[in-house]
């Protein structure tokens, strides 16, 4: 397993290989029944213990040099996101500018990992990034910023598979480097695991590009709608089995998003998957991470669960918008020694 130099993803097997591996693990054809047997055979989650472990990780005190390191790392892991019905090309260009130059007062400030937009605005984002767009930057030997597009009838996922695949194909054709798809929560909750599996697999197939630069697939579980940790764990395994490059907590569009226990749980899944197969799958908490403190708690959780090597854009992202400015304020404090203010960071 190799990590590509772009920082945009990990080489995972193609869709047909995935199906083969699932067959091997399930020791049977992929059906609702075999998936159910496999997923329900995975040990359960005790909510109290999980939340206590997350709370324990949250008490880590990250100070001085560690904090400076952590703040920069957080920025490098951000998928700077705008996902509003009111998004316009202007808004996306502004977001991209912020992604390229998070803090105009400090040239040492790192850039974010990606911008995340609706599929119809992916082309705008790519255009605005210009030479900073990941593939172009990579060709020039630099690290760029990827464009992630949400797809598959985001955020509800309530559309036919044909529509969802067309949604994905559009974004991929527009040059999106990463596709953030949503699973069909209705199908999952009604036990149609095979449908969820096949959708992910089909989307993964739709992420292929003739040039071989496949879009990486992040699978949004929308844990706020799956509600229980057991569901979230099963959905995580299902997504990984089906070929997800990343598993992502949330759309940011429902009441409960990326809680630390949920992120911890998903990190445990990718850690276990790595133990089982040697493959590394990424995790992306998204929605609700607004402060540096929250973000650093996520870093601690990553480092102490999956391991420090997961703290790279290929394996961990934070989907956020307002978080970036809070990190910048903290960074300025660390640099200057005094507290900064909202007027000293830019809005996008």
Partner 1 sequence: MSFLDYAPAPESRAILSLRPSYGLFVDGEFVDGNGPAFTTISPATEEGLAEIATADDADVDRAVAAARKAYDRVWSKLSGSDRGKYLFRIARLVQERARELAVAETLNNGKPIKESRDVDIPLVAAWFFYYAGWADKLDHAGLGADPRPLGVAGQIIPWNFPLLMLAWKIAPALASGNTVVLKPAETTPLTALLFAEILQQADLPPGVVNIVTGAGATGRAVVRHPDVDKIAFTGSTAVGREIARATAGTRKRLTLELGGKAANIVFDDAPIDQAIEGVVNGIFYNQGHVCCAGSRLLVQENVHDDVVERLKQRLTTLRLGDPLDKNTDIGAVNSAAQLERIRELTAAGEEEGATRWSPPCVLPEAGFWFAPTIFTGVQTSSRIAREEIFGPVLSILTFRTPQEAIAKANNTPYGLSAGIWSDKGSRVLAVADGLRAGVVWTNTFNRFDPASPFGGYKESGYGREGGKQGLAAYLAPSGGIR
Partner 2 sequence: MTRLAVPKTYKLYIGGRFPRSESGRTYEITGAGGVFLANAAQASRKDARDAVVAARSALTGWSGATAYNRGQVLYRIAELLEGRRAQFVDELVHTEGLAERRAVGVVDTAIDRWVWFAGWADKFAQVLGNGNPVAGPYFNLSVPEPTGVVAIIAPQAGEGHSLTGFVSAVAPALVSGNTVVVVASRSAPLPAISLSEVLATSDVPPGVVNVLTGSPAEIAPWLASHADVNAIDLVGAGDLDWVQLQVDAAETLKRVLQPEDGPGAPVPTLARISAFTETKTVWHTKGLL
- With contacts defined by CB under 8 A, how many residues of the chain interact with partner 1? 28
Alpha helices, DSSP H, located in 278-322: 292-305
* Distance, C-alpha 330 to centroid of its chain: 24
**Residue 270's closest CA among 299, 303, 247, 296?**
247
Residue 228 binds which of partner 1, partner 2, none (CB < 5-8 A, kind-dependent): partner 2
Q: Residue 80 burial by CB count (10 A; 0-12/13-18/19+): exposed, middle or buried?
A: buried
**Interface with partner 1, residue 234, by CB under 8 A:** no
**Interface with partner 1, residue 49, by CB under 8 A:** yes
- Given the residues 98, 284, 294, 348, the one annotated as active site: 284
**Interface with partner 1, residue 43, by CB under 8 A:** yes
Smaller CB separation from partner 2, 113 or 265: 265
- Given the residues 180, 214, 230, 245, the one annotated as active site: 180
Whole-number Å distance between alpha carbons of 193 and 36: 7
**Interface with partner 1, residue 247, by CB under 8 A:** no
Question: How near is the Cβ of 250 to partner 2 at its closest, in Å?
Answer: 15
Question: Is 180 an annotated catalytic residue?
Answer: yes
Among 268, 294, 326, 348, binds partner 1 (CB under 8 A): 268
- CB under 8 A: which stretch of 62-70, 108-116, 130-138, 190-198 binds partner 1? 62-70
- Provide the strand spans (E) within the chain: 78-81, 114-118, 146-151, 178-182, 216-220, 246-248, 282-284, 318-320
Beta-bridged to residue 116, according to DSSP, are 81, 148
**The token pair that represents 189 in the structure block:** 């909750």
**Interface with partner 1, residue 335, by CB under 8 A:** no
**Interface with partner 1, residue 228, by CB under 8 A:** no
Whole-number Å distance between alpha carbons of 306 and 280: 10
State the Cα angle at 222 between 217 and 226, rounded to 5°. 130
Question: Is 63 an annotated catalytic residue?
Answer: no
Residues that bind partner 2 (CB under 8 A): 46-49, 51, 227-229
Whole-number Å distance between alpha carbons of 71 and 57: 17
Residue 71 binds which of partner 1, partner 2, none (CB < 5-8 A, kind-dependent): none
Count of other CB atoms within 10 angstroms of residue 8: 26
Residue 227 binds which of partner 1, partner 2, none (CB < 5-8 A, kind-dependent): partner 2
Whole-number Å distance between alpha carbons of 181 and 129: 23
Give the HSE-up count for residue 167: Cα atoms under 13 Å, Cβ half-sphere.
24
Residue 43 binds which of partner 2, partner 1, none (CB < 5-8 A, kind-dependent): partner 1
Question: How near is the Cβ of 113 to partner 1 at its closest, in Å?
Answer: 17
- CB under 8 A: which stretch of 66-74, 104-112, 146-154, 281-289 binds partner 1? 66-74
Smaller CB separation from partner 1, 179 or 296: 296
Question: Is 164 an annotated catalytic residue?
Answer: no
Task: Collect all residues with Cβ–Cβ distance below 8 Å to 63 and sequence separation of at least 6.
Answer: none
Question: How near is the Cβ of 55 to partner 2 at its closest, in Å?
Answer: 11
Determine the 3-state secondary structure of 316 from DSSP.
strand
**Interface with partner 1, residue 308, by CB under 8 A:** yes
- CB under 8 A: which stretch of 19-27, 169-177, 189-197, 301-309 binds partner 1? 301-309
Count of other CB atoms within 10 angstroms of residue 162: 9
Smaller CB separation from partner 2, 47 or 163: 47
Question: How near is the Cβ of 51 to partner 2 at its closest, in Å?
Answer: 8
**Interface with partner 1, residue 53, by CB under 8 A:** yes
- CA-to-CA separations, 169 to 41, 117, 175, 178, 227, in angstroms, rounded: 35, 15, 10, 12, 30
Catalytic residues: 180, 248, 284
Q: Which residues of the chain form contacts with partner 1 (CB under 8 A)?
A: 43-46, 48-50, 52-53, 59-67, 69-70, 73, 268, 275, 299, 303-304, 308, 311
């Amino acid at each position: 397993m190799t990590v590509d130099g772009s920082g945009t993803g990990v080489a995972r097997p193609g869709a047909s290989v995935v199906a083969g591996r699932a067959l091997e693990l399930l020791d049977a054809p992929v059906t609702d029944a075999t998936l159910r047997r496999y997923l329900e055979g995975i040990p359960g989650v005790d909510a109290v213990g999980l939340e206590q472990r997350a709370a324990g990780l949250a008490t880590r005190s990250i100070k001085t040099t560690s904090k400076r390191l952590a703040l920069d790392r957080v920025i490098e892991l951000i998928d700077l996101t705008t996902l509003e019905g009111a998004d316009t090309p202007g808004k996306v260009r502004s977001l991209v500018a912020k992604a390229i130059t998070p803090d105009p007062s400090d040239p040492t400030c790192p850039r974010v990992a990606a911008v995340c937009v609706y599929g119809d605005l992916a082309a705008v984002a790519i255009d605005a990034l210009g030479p900073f767009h990941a593939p172009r930057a990579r060709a020039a030997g630099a690290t760029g910023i990827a464009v992630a597009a949400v797809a598959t009838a985001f955020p509800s996922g309530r559309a036919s598979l044909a529509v969802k695949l067309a949604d994905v194909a559009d974004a991929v054709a527009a040059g999106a480097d990463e596709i953030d798809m949503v699973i069909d929560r209705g199908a999952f909750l009604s036990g149609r695991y095979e449908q969820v599996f096949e959708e992910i697999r089909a989307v993964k197939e739709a992420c292929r590009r003739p040039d071989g630069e496949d879009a990486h697939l992040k699978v949004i579980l929308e844990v706020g709608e799956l509600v229980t940790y057991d569901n979230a764990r099963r959905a995580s395994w299902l997504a990984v089995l089906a070929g997800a490059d990343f598993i992502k907590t949330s759309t940011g569009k429902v009441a409960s998003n990326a809680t630390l226990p949920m992120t911890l749980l998903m990190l445990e899944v990718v850690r276990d998957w790595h133990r089982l197969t040697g493959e590394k799958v990424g995790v992306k908490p998204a929605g609700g991470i607004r402060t540096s403190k929250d973000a650093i708690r996520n870093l601690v959780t990553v480092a102490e669960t999956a391991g420090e090597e997961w703290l790279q854009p290929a394996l961990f992202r934070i989907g956020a918008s307002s978080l970036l400015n809070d990190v910048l304020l903290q960074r300025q404090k660390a640099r200057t020694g005094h507290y900064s203010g909202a007027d000293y960071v830019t809005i996008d």
